[in-house]
Amino acid sequence: AKTVEQRKKALAKILPMQRQDFIGLYEALGDKGVTIRFLDPPLHEFVPHDDESIRELADQMGIKFEELKETIAGLHEFNPMMGHRGC
């Protein structure tokens, strides 16, 4: 998402699913402690790397191939121990 409104809309879609996941987790563990961790791997590990897969994803997202490829390139981190984690 490029704008705050787009981010809010996308997050609103996944919030009910995430909420149910957490409810299920807490119910399953009962009175035991729970530790929730942020994503550990860098974000670039979750996106396609070859042009064919990037093109396919861009088509699914309704955006230009070049735009998505540039965004993906921007996710590669100089220092993976810092970077974009948890964004």
With residue 23 as reference, give the H or E element that holds it.
Answer: helix 4-29
**Separation of alpha carbons 62 and 42, rounded Å:** 25
In this prediction, residue 43 has a pLDDT band, given cuts at 50, 70 and 90, of: confident
Instruction: Give the lowest-confidence range in 23-27, 35-39, 71-75.
Output: 35-39
Please tell me which residue, 82 or 52, carries the higher pLDDT value. Answer: 52
Residue 84, C-beta contacts closer than 8 angstroms, at least 6 positions apart: 42, 43, 75, 77
* pTM (global) more than 0.85: no
Helix pair 65-75, 51-61: axis angle to 10 deg: 110
What's the mean pLDDT in 63-85? 78
